[in-house]
Amino acid sequence: MIRTAVTLAAALLVAFIVVPLAGLFFHLQPGDIIAALRTQAAQDALRLSIITTFCSLAITLLLGTPLAYVLARATFPGRYLVDAVVDLPIVVPPAVAGLALLLAFGRNGTFGPLFGALGISLSFSTIAVIMAQTFVASPFYVRAARAGFAGVDRTLEAASATLGMGPLRTFAYITVPLAAPALIGGAVLSWARALGEFGATIMFAGNLQGVSQTLPLAVYLNLESGNLPVAVVLSVILILFSLIVVVTVHATAQRGSR
């Protein structure tokens, strides 16, 4: 009796996830795919999404790796606070994040005049898209990398040092390779989060074709303007990316646990 109930509950939730996503594919007409991909808006969105997500990923890796290492290794006053702050964007609603970015870096925001004096207008630009993505997505990488670094046996780093390797080379030859499954998993997850970014982007960067209209924003705009087939095609592209991400994350997690 209980077993049946458990099975039913489990099946219900799985079906609830699978059915709508799989359903999208049934809305797909072969002719639509070509037609949709031929539109300038779809091509712009696809190109913009790829460029911006790789830029935000690069920033995340560059700044997030040292941060994750410090959080995993160093002891300093306020470490737990920094730890919590880093996780904050994961739970803050994206629209709120977008508003916060706008009020900080927008033309009339706190730092707006500063950038304005340099001739830079951040809001409603491609840079704003990258900033919004980095803001919401980088914590996923930092979390994973922090756990990865914390899991590396420090005796191995000590062994490397006593054999003559300096701190940077020890990091490159020992720490990073041993934390690699966590680093790759976190990077992929954070990239996927950036690709799906909608709320913060539309608040801070707007929805301008070729400038700030990434794939999720293009899905929204095409649905709003009654262009359902294009919205479906772009959605299917996003789902395919998501599938690749999920498979990669599971594969690296398995390799890491071996």
In the complex, the residues that contact other proteins under the rule CB under 8 A are 153, 155-156, 158-167, 169-170, 174, 177-178
Give CA–CA dist 214/51, Å, rounded: 10
Scanning the structure block, which residue is given the tokens 């306020």?
78
The secondary structure of residue 106, as a DSSP letter, is: S
Min separation Cβ 80 and other proteins, Å: 22
* Angle, alpha carbons 235-231-95 (nearest 5°): 75
| Nearest CB to other proteins, comparing residues 89 and 181 | 181
The secondary structure element, H or E, covering residue 190 is helix 176-195
Least gap, CB of 171 to other proteins (angstroms): 12
Nearer to other proteins, 134 or 170 (CB): 170
Specify whether the backbone of 119 is left (phi greater than 0), alpha (psi in -120 to 50) or beta: left
Residue 140 Cβ vs other proteins, minimum distance, rounded to whole Å: 25
CA separation, residue 250 to residues 2, 62, 70, 256 (Å): 30, 24, 26, 10
Nearest-approach distance from CB 169 to other proteins, in angstroms: 7
Nearest approach in angstroms of CB 144 to other proteins is: 19
Rounded to whole angstroms, the Cα distance separating 105 from 17 reads: 37
Q: Which is nearer to other proteins, 105 or 149 (CB)?
A: 149
Report DSSP state, residue 171: I
Tell me how far, at minimum, the Cβ of 159 lies from other proteins, in Å: 4
Could you tell me the smallest distance in angstroms from the CB atom of residue 69 to other proteins? 18
Give 38 or 258: the residue with its C-beta nearer to other proteins: 258
C-beta of 66 vs 177, nearer to other proteins: 177
Report which DSSP code applies to 111.
S
Q: Which is nearer to other proteins, 29 or 254 (CB)?
A: 254
Q: Which of 20/164 has CB closer to other proteins?
A: 164
Q: Are 197 and 133 in contact (CB under 8 A)?
A: yes
Integer Cα distance of 202 and 196 in angstroms: 12
CA-closest candidate to residue 97, choices 138, 60, 125:
138
